[in-house]
Homo-oligomer: A and B are copies of this chain.
């Protein structure tokens, strides 16, 4: 077993490169001290990181706590949460990981003491963002409320780590947390997915991996809706049985056609389209369930009585709870789907702003844009 006292083959510098938020939409490369892992934490040398829609919101609008508090950009915050790397230093009491381990990460480290955390719902921690000042409850949401991964190093609690399976490359490993969110969405819908019909709305990264995980768990049929044929085709490669381009067919009618009028058991809404809930309500059969993953940008008119009339359950989720990332990693390890398919572009550490531009504007069909922090 490796302990902090063993000889460490990794030389850890005192300072590191880190991108930080500047004015809205602006990222600036700076120098920061390398953080030190505390008890139950490790220092991760970041090898690769992907952009997520959440990053785009943060970079353009500021971190969640700032948004809610109305404060300006803090000028020193490092975003980025879909990263992977190598454990290079262990904090006190860590024996779950060994120096040299390749790890992917989860976002949420719950406070461990609120009602939600005590019930295992650490992505719903009631002390979200409480990791500063006199009310420090220890909560961390890496890249959201604490420094993230567009940097050479980051500190992670062991609860936010998962081993990268052997044979999985750095780029693909950045997608494990995305697959974890997809897994959590399906868990939330009840988990007994085999042989059940599933509609995934929105072929973004989470939507595509919801198709992949859903099919890996045996969902049948898996229907994917979206606006771009190129992405829908990727969905087919990842396991979708039916593709619906909403520009050419009404998605609700398509689901009814494919299911011979019955509707689907489950909907995972990943489009963030304000009408996603409305469409979902019309896609599911009576007693059906909808998981909302995408963030709708604006309110929308909803016929709430439909939920009552058809006994529909709706689950908003955030993050990747219930250790879903570990279970997702197991599917990746077993090669149940090829997550690499959604990785479209790779940039270097110094090109983060360009990578951001590709990701935000979906240039050249960009889905997952990965930054290799460390060239290998």
Contact = CB atoms under 8 A, between A and B. Distances in A.
Interface in A261-275: 262, 274
A191 interface: yes
Nearest to A318: B311
Given A135-B93, A192-B327, A195-B326, A316 B313 contact: yes
A315 interface: yes
A305 B296 contact: yes
Contact of A124 (B135, B286, B298, B304): B286
Interface residues of A, number: 87
A116 to B, nearest CB: 5
A330 interface: yes
Contacts of A293: 308
A120 B293 CA distance: 23
A322 to B, nearest CB: 7
Q: What number of copies of this chain does the assembly contain?
A: 4
B217 A217 contact: yes
Interface string A305-317: 1111111111111
A137 interface: yes
Interface of A: 3, 39-40, 92-93, 95-96, 112-113, 115-126, 128, 134-138, 157-159, 183, 187, 190-192, 194-196, 216-218, 220, 262, 274, 276-277, 285-287, 292-318, 322-323, 326-331, 333-334, 336
Contact of A277 (B286, B292, B304, B311): B304
B317 A308 contact: yes
A304 B274 contact: yes
B305 A295 contact: yes
Given A138-B93, A194-B330, A299-B301, A218 B220 contact: no
